[in-house]
Amino acid sequence: MDFSLNTEQLEAQKMVREFCAKEVIPTIGEWDRKQEMNPAILPRMAELGILGISIPVRYGGQGFDYITLGLVCEELERADTTLRVVMSVHHGLNSQAILQWGTEEQKQRFLAPQARGEKYAAFCLTEPGAGSDVASMSATAIRKGDKYILNGEKMWISLATKAHHFLVVAKHDPNATPAHKGMSAFIVTSDMPGVTTGDIHGKLGVRAGSTGWVKFENVEVPIENRLGEEGEGFKIAMSCLDNGRYTVASGATGLIRACLEDSVKYAQERETFGKPIAHHQLIKQKIAYMRQWYDTAYLLCMRVGYLKNAGIRNTRETSLAKWYATDHSVKAALEAVQVFGAYGFSDEYPVERYLRNSKGAVIYEGTSEIHQLMQADYEFGFREDKPLRCEAPAYDPEFWQSEPEAIAGG
């Protein structure tokens, strides 16, 4: 088994690492205190090709593989969670869903401008009264001729006020039994009459990011904007989560690394009892644990990236990676604050922000408790990886890195 990265993967990793070191880390603390998103971040990520890093070139992307996507998310969250959240919703939850489930017309119309960063995208599943219990959502999309009339409200939506395109899951049949059979997915644009958005303030973490709500009042959605077939909304939502959870897990791995690297540096500089605290046994213990957690999370994410590249269903493996990496990012942040002592309790150093940011990922895209139940159900045989109608595409360099004209012979 070869764990080495190829040249393309290393170059993408280096590019994002340098971008974060020069343009994000020096100022992210200020934006976090303001509780505002740096308006230059999304355009800059688009300019560098990050927003479409693992989308085929023919659809406006960079054509890199899924392992590269994980490496990029790790580097982004090493700088700040808000940047990885952008990748989770824009790339993982929305763009990859259109790549997997969309028609050719939908890919050209919606995916290509998203991959180029000309349009930003969000994912609308959670509601004020429906989180882990997806089937209890109340949003409806009732068909009237060649349109669906969409009504409802989605909550805790990242990029809610920034996005141009929303992937919305709603019930086309509120009386379906079981309930998830009556769900469908739609691509909704922010300029459709009846779409309103707003920001949520006062969050514990991810303060330099955009989180909000999206409301739909009698929004007329053309039938050609439905993603997949009628009734496939739940399947599509679950496939979206497979993609998004991989980015979350990879990002949390980066947060563990941030805690480790910052703690090592500080422990070598800070002295107590006449010597650097790096020489104290209990500090060494914390560093050793962080190293163990990082390597384990990294390897779990690499396995998922490998499976995704091969086109192999990875719901179970992605769930485990997301659960482990996010849980241990919280533990790493707690240990980092302890290493920094009183200074870790203030925003003079970034570990305070790491701790606040880490908490969100054990809640969104499946709580830690949900993932525990999933893993147990797999072990007992109560749950199995049933194939979807539309599996995520395997990574094929010849296709992903080729222009459409080359395939067509033009």
Q: Which DSSP string do the residues of 110-143 spell out, in sequence order? A: IIHHHHHTSS-EEEE--BTTBSS-GGG---EEEE
Domain boundaries, the chain: 7-120, 123-234, 235-380
Q: Which CATH number fits domain 7-120: 1.10.3210.10, 1.10.540.10, 3.40.50.720, 3.40.50.300?
A: 1.10.540.10
**Rounded CA separation 190/137 (Å):** 21
Q: In this structure, which topology does domain 235-380 adopt according to CATH?
A: Butyryl-CoA Dehydrogenase, subunit A; domain 3 (1.20.140)
3-state SS assignment for residue 53? coil
Active site residues: 365
In Å, how far are 196, 267, 335 from 290, measured between CA atoms?
A: 43, 14, 8
Contact at 8 Å (CB) between 78 and 22?
no
Across 112-138, average pLDDT? 96
In the block, residue with structure tokens 């017309």: 105
Given a cut of 90, whether residue 387 has pLDDT beyond it is: no
> Each residue of 299-346: pLDDT tens digit?
999 999 999 999 999 999 999 999 999 999 999 999 999 999 999 999
Rounded to two decimals, what is the model's pTM? 0.96
Give per-residue pLDDT as tens, 188-246: 999 999 999 999 999 999 999 999 999 999 999 999 999 999 999 999 999 999 999 99
Task: Name the residue type at position 113.
Answer: P
User: In terms of CATH, what superfamily is 123-234?
Assistant: Butyryl-CoA Dehydrogenase, subunit A, domain 2 (2.40.110.10)
Quick one: residue 23, left, alpha or beta (phi over 0 = left, psi -120 to 50 = alpha)? alpha
CA–CA distance, 192 with 189 (Å, rounded to integer): 6
117: tokens are 């960063």
